[in-house]
Structure 1
Amino acid sequence: MLVDSHCHLDFPDFAEERAAIVARAREAGVERMVTISTRVRKFDQIREIAETFDEVYCSIGTHPHNAAEEPDVTAEELVRLSGHPKVVAIGEAGLDYHYDHAPRDAQAKGFRTHIAAARETGLPLVIHARSADDDMAAILEEETGKGAFPFVLHCFSSGKRLAEVGVALGGYVSFSGILTFRNSQDIRDIAAAVRLDRLLVETDAPYLAPIPHRGKRNEPAFVAHTAAVLAETIGLDSAEVARLTTDNFFRLFSKMPSPDEVVPKA
């Protein structure tokens, strides 16, 4: 069994064949997918997808790119919406200084709001961090000092120190198709140094398709390729990595029912 801990099934790229994409993932052994929210105001779309497919769950949150669009989102609203049985995470939220689509102060304010919701609910915060290592580490350390909260550094492409800080604070690190790219040896070196009990895999579909699909639209079934490269990177076989990352996933996403449990209905 594999899990795609981060994809975007609500994106237009999948609109015409969403059921087929979920079916292909199932055939590839991907038994759980988390479709990640980027705008709280579009939660109805995410929720509908999660309610349609037994294998699909979702999060609730505002991406840092959209932080200025949704400045009025409160921790209380996030907590309320997270009560839906298919919502298993908060986010994605965080800091993106690569594109700077939103003012940095708006990103930080939104990030701290999501942290508060994760702390209150106990649901994992899905963190987006790009070109913001120092500020991200500082906020994580400061906010953890106020009270621990579960989190994952998703689609990890940052430096070694942020991975170390994240794990030291109790977080997980998730690797996407970037891990498979030929010029990503630094990311593979970081993955090899992360504690085995803190590793996750994801697609971030429709983006970042792994080799041998690089340059094409990504989809959850392709998480198997990333898991295979992770296995090579850490010196385990693919079956062990599938078990390891799946166990880690269910430990972090603790609201998610395991495959032998009854899937809750809305």
Structure 2
Amino acid sequence: VVPTTLSALLSAEPAGAQSAAQPDEEAATRLDTLLAGETSIAEFSSIIDDPSLLTAPERSDLLQLIGAGWRDEPNAWQAALTAHAEATTTTLTSVAIQEPSTVQLVSPEAVLPFFVRNDLPFAANVVLVSTPDNLRLDVERTLTVRAEPGVNTRVEVPVRARVGSGEVTIELRLLSPTFEQVGPVQRAQVTVRAEWERIGIIGLGAIIVLLLGAGFIRTIRRRRRTRAAEGVDGPTIDQGTTEENTAREPEPDRPVDRRDE
């Protein structure tokens, strides 16, 4: 190293220089991955009231991971990159629709319950979009949901059976206020049996009519038996006593014919 002055440097003849370093394709690929993760977090962060609560920590982590100090510790850098990728995935999947169960719909109108999971420490504002795959079911297409932190928020989707019976698949997806998809798409299987309610009401009505008719018939028969029993057990007439009483009764006076005298 030879010290020199600034004036001597400015008056010196220019000298060419060429770098012998080779481009690090692996590091460039990892940087692209980090930048893509930051973009995903920025899009996802629109679901909370203050997006900087997610974007600021992500930016800080990215700046630390691209520091030159990791060049001498490749194994530790790889471990830090892996941990950061897992944390990014955990954040992006922290709000999602719980897997729905199969539903048996036996009434023309009903409310289907679904649950939105929120593992973030912040409340999330999302839109639940429900899309049936056929016209057997009319579904409330969009519902605004505020998912509270750390719990599963119940969302009730009104549905109405329209045409006959059969199988209907409802596609469920969450959107952010900026229309970015949040979490994976879920599908709910609904078996529509709307006419069963009508058949059940008719059957129940028929049973009630039969019970009332059977009770009415039993009442009439019971009254007839009571009347018949009263006729058999009433006062009897003694034939001998009747003849004796008849013999003792005085005969009525006969008119006297004066011509016989």
TM-score bin, normalised by smaller chain: under 0.3
Q: Which has the larger share of strand? A: 2
TM-score (norm 2): 0.18
Asked which structure has the greater CA Rg, the reply is 2
Using CA pairs under 8 Å that are at least 6 residues apart, name the structure with larger relative contact order, 1 or 2: 1
